[in-house]
Structure 1
Amino acid sequence: MPQVVAIAFKTQKRGAMLEVQTALVTRESGVGQDIYGKPGKRQVTLISRQQWQAACEQVNQELPWTVRRANIMVDGLEFNESLVGQQVRIGDLVLEITGETDPCRKMEQACVGLEAALAVGWRGGVTCRVISPGQITVQDELSII
């Protein structure tokens, strides 16, 4: 069963990602008090551990997942276009997958070649909107509903 393996958010633009073991995810502020958690199609971002590792292998670097600046890393699920419009349940939390998280030049600044490595096969993850709020914790199981 897929599960949450990491949670993070940032409280200021270009600020450090703050990793937490548990977070409240709401319609008003996304994950924790994330600066980009306002309501909309890009409220919460998810990344797959397997897809992140594939990108790291392509650039021959072992990079911390927070370099990607995503909110939630999951294990056991890979993202692709067929999941757009689907909902993800993590406990009481329900997210709607709204699209692909396009890698930006910040990825290239972090590691040469990373932007291109993340552009392959949805490795950059997905964007989501909060449908139903909930508390999440590392090791929570998730499902596509």
Structure 2
Amino acid sequence: MARVLDINRSDKKGIAKEPIGEGIFVEDFGLENDAHAGKWHRQVSLLAIESYHRMEEMGIKDLPIGAFGENITTEGVELHKLPVGTVLRIGETVQEVTQIGKECHTMCNIGRTVGKCVMPNEGIFTRVLVGGKIRKDDTIEVELPE
């Protein structure tokens, strides 16, 4: 079963986010009070704990949740394998996957601190279709596009 490990936010882009346990996700905007939110296609960023485990296998240990700047850390679903257009029902929200990975033009603070960033290949981005609250341990339902 896929679930939320934590909700994370920050005041600035390109830095690690702090776990907050729960958050309000605003329709067509993103996580309330997060630097990443806005009226664009990358309103919410998600990264699976399985990606953290891959970093640990490469020798990078003790990474705190939120280290890669993701808004939602998940467990039980390989996010980067989901196609664009996938609908995620997370807590009270409905979100649509809009992008898999991202291009990093310069080494961000995360990459400098951690040594490598998995967001360019394994992070995903969504647009909030229906807003609401998401809490730690909420389930994630995946609806693949037809």
Give me the TM-score of the superposition, normalised by structure 1: 0.84
Structure 2 gap ranges (5+): none
- Partner AA of 2:47 in structure 1: I
- Partner AA of 1:87 in structure 2: V
- Partner AA of 1:111 in structure 2: V
Determine the structure 1 residue equivalent to 2:85. 85
Determine the structure 1 residue equivalent to 2:112. 109
Aligned identity (percent) is 24
Helix, strand or coil for the counterpart of 1:65? coil
- Partner AA of 2:141 in structure 1: S
Give me the TM-score of the superposition, normalised by structure 2: 0.83
Q: Which runs of 4+ in 1 moved over 2 A?
A: 11-18, 59-62, 80-83, 101-104
Shift of 1:103: 6.3
Q: Deviations over 1:55-104 (max 9, x none)?
A: 23214322113220000001000123542111100132011111123264
Helix, strand or coil for the counterpart of 2:67? helix
- Partner AA of 1:110 in structure 2: T
Structure 1 gap ranges (5+): none
Helix, strand or coil for the counterpart of 1:83? coil
Alpha-carbon spacing, 1:81–1:2, altered in 2? closer, same or farther (3 Å): closer
Determine the structure 1 residue equivalent to 2:133. 135
Shift of 1:29: 4.1
| CA RMSD of superposed structures (Å) | 2.2
Alpha-carbon spacing, 1:119–1:96, altered in 2? closer, same or farther (3 Å): closer
Separation of aligned partners in 2, 1:47 and 1:133: 20
Task: Kindly indicate whether residue 70 of structure 2 is the aligned counterpart of residue 66 of structure 1.
Answer: no
Shift of 1:22: 1.2
Helix, strand or coil for the counterpart of 1:68? coil
Shift of 1:13: 4.2
Determine the structure 2 residue equivalent to 1:75. 75
- Partner AA of 2:139 in structure 1: E
Alpha-carbon spacing, 1:86–1:57, altered in 2? closer, same or farther (3 Å): same
Separation of aligned partners in 1, 2:16 and 2:79: 25
